[in-house]
Structure 1
Amino acid sequence: MISALEYHERTKHSPQGVRESGYQLDFDNKPRPFKSYEDLPRRALSDRVRLTGIPALSTITPTHADFSHERPVPVDDLTALSYFSTGITKQLTRQDRELLFRAAACTGALYHIDLYAVCGDLEGLEAGVYHVDPRSLSLDVLREGDYRGILDAASDHDGVSTAPVTFVVTSTWWRNAWKYRDRAYRHAFWDSGTVLANLLATAESLSLPAEVVLGFADEPVAELLGVDPEREAPLELVPVGTGDHVPDATRIDPIDPATSPLSPDEREFPLIHDAWRASTLESGGEARDWRSRARERSIGRREGGDGDRIELDPVDYETESKRPLHETIRRRGSCRAYEREPVSFRKFSTVLDRATRGVPLDGRGSDSPSLQFVDAYMIANGVDGVSPGSYHYHPEAGELERLTDGECRSEAAHLALDQRLGGEAAACLYFLTDLDVVVDRLGNRGYQLAQLEAAATAGRCYLATYAHRNLGGTGLTFYDDFVTTFLSPRADGQTPMFLYTLGEPA
């Protein structure tokens, strides 16, 4: 097995490494972006997706999931949760090819993240273990009966123990590794993070408590779904709603449902599975202990300094954009070009303010700061009222601290793997952490936690960005150590987890 620190070091990008890789994509072997079971029965979800009309900006802030009051989850809600997380929201035809775009952003549009629903009897759906099929917005039946006790025992988590339905989020490695190779393990948390941002916002719009659970015993969950972690592994649990305590765990028979091949020649990347395996937890008790350690204090972040401060000016809830969540998700894209026009300071302030108020993760303490495991830094090249330069954002104070002065579009493009989008963007947001400290305190599972907090926060940036007219955004990859160097000495010892850019779309 390989430690998270070694994995991260071995998968860093550098200009020399990118130039010398020589890797070419084999489009004849490109994997399909859907999991297709060959002979499983299906259950229909609702014919129509429920729309609440709640403004997107009102759904982004954390629920601090309250599982103390009973809130069932009818099948209409299950449909909305599934559709706005992984459903097909756009269909375009280009050069006689049909392109299907999903609700949440995904690296390379390869869509390697799947949702499974483990539920008791719901209004309109009997208890079972289901795979969500985004193509037909229906459910593949993996097991009939109530198996929520398996997840309860695996996680020892209060929300899972009373949730009418718990989603399990997985990644199929090859579907992303076809293009990104060993970095697909990073992308598993990048891309599940954007899915989870949508899922949590949709739950909030439906007045359903929801929380992301990263602490759970991995093997029992994989066995429940009938997946082989060398190909597809569970990443997170998301309990939704609240009700009676779930039945006790029962013995389960192994299942191995047949699926259609993803591509003619599916390749393996042992480094990915080794990194995942090194992070696994063995039991619900171990998961609860890990969770307790994570909740104790903020780690991986840097204290502020004495640089000049700029106070953000976000809109309040009365004057915020009223674009509903469903329209925002359907509007969302990934910008391919930005105008070099400055964006509104208030809109930028609102995006940053709403996105960084703290993702409801099981590893967060109840009185934790907005960001607990990552710092937010920024290169500003086009924000009204913000002098060009680099900044350290302090979400608790709502202030930007200036680190350096001067326009740095060429530097921003270079840091973003020499992609012009980085230089065109009005702002580049970098989420960094001190991995040595995180892994020392929380083990290899801590690496997942830092990646996920950064990615889910970036997923909220997407939602807050596209809630505004004339704003667009996209995530970009980066030269890891070059980002650290550019943001040092403040970021010395930290490493980037995610890069999000925003601006006015061209």
Structure 2
Amino acid sequence: MVDAREYHERTKHSPRELRADDFELDFANRPRPSKEYVDLPRRSLGTVSTPPETPALQAIATATAEPNETPDGDTDPIDLTTLCHYAAGVTKTLEVRGETATFRAAACTGKLYHVDLYAITGDLDGSDGADGIDAGVYHYDPDTDEFHVLREGDYRGVLADAAGDYRGIADAPVTIVATSEWWRNAWKYRNRTYRHAFWDSGTILANLLAVAHASGHRAEVVTGFADDSVARLLGLDPDDEAPLELVAVGRDDSEADARTVEPIDPIDPATELASDPVDYPLLADVWRASRLSDGETVVEWRERFAGDDGSTPFGTHPPGDSEGREASLKQSARSAGDGDRIALDPVDEDTASSRPIENTIGRRGSLREYSHEPISSRKFATVLDRALGGVPLDCFGDSEDSGPDEPAEPSTLVDCYCLVHAVEGVPTGAYQYHPAENVLERIGDTDRETAGHLALDQSVVGDAAANVYLLADVEAIVEQVGNRGYRLAQLAAGIRLGRLYLATYAHRTLGGRGFTFYDDRVTEHLSPRAANQTPMTLFALGEPAE
């Protein structure tokens, strides 16, 4: 099985590699962007409703499992259909060049939509007088907002056992599993699909967490689980489709025992294929190399995240020498030189955009043309502040033990770097952004032409007001927590990518889009600061061109 570090090196983009690549897309063999079971019954688990009017900027900034407004627990039944719809469902249909095109709630590489959602539930109460949901294992159909029924009965104990009796899973009325069907993305992106699995599930999970928290429900991402147990529960063959993450939603305060683990009869439900899959064995191979075998192994893996001193740096870079920092922050931004810092000033909750999460998800797009007009420094600061904070993840400690202001994931897996081209009051240049301090630290020069070159020679990236890169030290992460740590680094960047989309589109005058890049050239451009790191994701934001 391939080591994650080897996989990452083998799937890097370079100008030379792309020039030599003669691959052509076979449009006649394009896969269907959703999974279709042949014989499984379908069931409506409720109609899509409008989530609460919680502003998107508030909903995405929840660093802990607990929602900001309801720290004492859930008050309303979980609306499973609405959660799945605003995470992965079809939110709009448009006529494009004479053909009907559907658009999903979250961005996905190539609009290929290879990430599926499954729900494992106990018996759920209905909302607003609606019928409840029987315990079962369900697959969400984004085209109809209905669910395929894979199993009937309460299988939450299987997940609790697989997650090492992690309390967030054991106590959850609903756990949603995100998977990737490799071929649906590999049709275009081939071996890069393993990276995309975590980018694309990350944007979906950003939406899912935001809608759950906006609805007053506890929600967290659980990355430690016994993979084969989950795959068996869902009837998956990991050569074709594999589980990526779990999301525990809500808290069950009843006395019912959800931990009972009954033997799982194997299932192999037939699916309808609209294409002839081409095998890319590297994808399943690198996934298998990151598996955890059982609950005991999961617990041991989580313990590896705490260093001897309780810190988890993972090769990230804190702000530079603090000497003279206060004077530096008071400098005029126009005089900033390398090493200097610019204090950003995001708007507070009372004056921030109040665009609701539902409206923001519906508005989200993929901006194709950018104006060269500068964007407001306060809007830029607000986007970074809300999107790049902590994420509720299991491996950084049981969030049941975290206080309301203590993030379960302290932003130590990835560092944020910004190439600034047109932000009011911020000189053009390359910066590292430090979320805890809301500070840009200048690390070098840049220009629009260089920015476009770094992004696979896509000049439109240089047209944006700013490019936001998330980088990780893959060597340090894999060294400390194994191949599964690579999954986590890509996912941490992917969730923040999804939050960058939402924070950007919460502002009426802003738009943005994710892009790919020449891996090593990005590192070189951001060196020496980022010499040990490699890019995970890229987001370009700015004002749309008229």
Q: TM-score range by the shorter chain?
A: over 0.9
Pairing partner for 1:210 from 214, 219, 222: 219
Aligned residues: 503
* 1:50–1:80 Cα contact (<8 Å) kept: yes
Residue identity matched to 2:536: M
1:32-431 pair list within 5 angstroms: 32-66=32-66, 71=74, 74=77, 77-123=79-125, 124-156=132-164, 157-243=166-252, 244=254, 245-263=257-275, 265-296=276-307, 297-305=312-320, 307-365=339-397, 370-405=410-445, 408-431=447-470
Residue identity matched to 1:286: T
Flag as ranges the 4+ runs of structure 1 deviating above 6 A.
Answer: none
Does the residue aligned with 1:89 lie in a helix, a strand or coil? strand
Does the residue aligned with 1:260 lie in a helix, a strand or coil? coil
Q: Structure 1, residues 423-450: CA drift from partner, whole Å, max 9, x if none?
A: 1111001111111110000000000111
- Call closer, same or farther: CA 1:230–1:206 in 2, change over 3 Å: same
Residue identity matched to 1:279: S
* 2:158–2:262 Cα contact (<8 Å) kept: yes
Does the residue aligned with 2:58 lie in a helix, a strand or coil? helix
Residue identity matched to 2:152: E
* 1:432–1:494 Cα contact (<8 Å) kept: yes
Does the residue aligned with 2:542 lie in a helix, a strand or coil? strand
Task: Kindly state the Cα deviation for residue 362 of structure 1 after the two structures are TM-superposed.
Answer: 1.2
**Mean Cα deviation higher: 227-236 or 419-428:** 419-428
Residue identity matched to 2:28: D
Distance in structure 2 (CA, Å) of the matches to 1:69 and 1:218: 32
Task: Kindly state the Cα deviation for residue 72 of structure 1 after the two structures are TM-superposed.
Answer: 7.0
Distance in structure 2 (CA, Å) of the matches to 1:443 and 1:231: 23
* 1:63–1:204 Cα contact (<8 Å) kept: no
Residue identity matched to 2:213: E
* 1:111–1:175 Cα contact (<8 Å) kept: yes
Task: Kindly state the Cα deviation for residue 378 of structure 1 after the two structures are TM-superposed.
Answer: 0.7
Does the residue aligned with 1:219 lie in a helix, a strand or coil? helix
List runs of 5+ in structure 1 lacking aligned partners. none
Does the residue aligned with 1:8 lie in a helix, a strand or coil? helix
Task: Kindly state the Cα deviation for residue 10 of structure 1 after the two structures are TM-superposed.
Answer: 0.1
* 2:136–2:152 Cα contact (<8 Å) kept: yes
Task: Kindly state the Cα deviation for residue 51 of structure 1 after the two structures are TM-superposed.
Answer: 2.5
* 1:146–1:247 Cα contact (<8 Å) kept: no
Does the residue aligned with 2:304 lie in a helix, a strand or coil? helix
Task: Kindly state the Cα deviation for residue 45 of structure 1 after the two structures are TM-superposed.
Answer: 2.7
Does the residue aligned with 1:461 lie in a helix, a strand or coil? helix
Q: Structure 1, residues 203-234: CA drift from partner, whole Å, max 9, x if none?
A: 11111000000100000000000011000000
Task: Kindly state the Cα deviation for residue 74 of structure 1 after the two structures are TM-superposed.
Answer: 3.1
* 1:60–1:201 Cα contact (<8 Å) kept: yes
Does the residue aligned with 2:219 lie in a helix, a strand or coil? coil
Residue identity matched to 2:47: D
Residue identity matched to 2:504: T
Q: Structure 1, residues 451-505: CA drift from partner, whole Å, max 9, x if none?
A: 1111101111111000001100111000000000000000012111111110011
Distance in structure 1 (CA, Å) of the matches to 2:460 and 2:315: 28
**TM score, norm. by length of structure 1:** 0.97
Does the residue aligned with 1:339 lie in a helix, a strand or coil? coil
Task: Kindly state the Cα deviation for residue 48 of structure 1 after the two structures are TM-superposed.
Answer: 3.6
Distance in structure 2 (CA, Å) of the matches to 1:49 and 1:233: 30
Task: Kindly state the Cα deviation for residue 95 of structure 1 after the two structures are TM-superposed.
Answer: 3.1
Task: Kindly state the Cα deviation for residue 371 of structure 1 after the two structures are TM-superposed.
Answer: 1.3
Residue identity matched to 2:144: S
- Call closer, same or farther: CA 1:202–1:295 in 2, change over 3 Å: farther
Distance in structure 1 (CA, Å) of the matches to 2:514 and 2:391: 18
* 2:55–2:354 Cα contact (<8 Å) kept: yes
Pairing partner for 2:502 from 455, 463, 484: 463
* 1:485–1:492 Cα contact (<8 Å) kept: yes
- Call closer, same or farther: CA 1:145–1:72 in 2, change over 3 Å: farther
**Mean Cα deviation higher: 48-57 or 140-149:** 48-57
Residue identity matched to 1:436: E
Distance in structure 2 (CA, Å) of the matches to 1:385 and 1:115: 43
* 2:120–2:156 Cα contact (<8 Å) kept: yes
* 1:73–1:241 Cα contact (<8 Å) kept: no
* 1:309–1:400 Cα contact (<8 Å) kept: yes
* 1:308–1:401 Cα contact (<8 Å) kept: yes
Does the residue aligned with 1:74 lie in a helix, a strand or coil? coil
List runs of 5+ in structure 2 lacking aligned partners. 126-131, 322-338
Residue identity matched to 1:439: V
* 2:117–2:140 Cα contact (<8 Å) kept: yes
* 2:73–2:216 Cα contact (<8 Å) kept: no
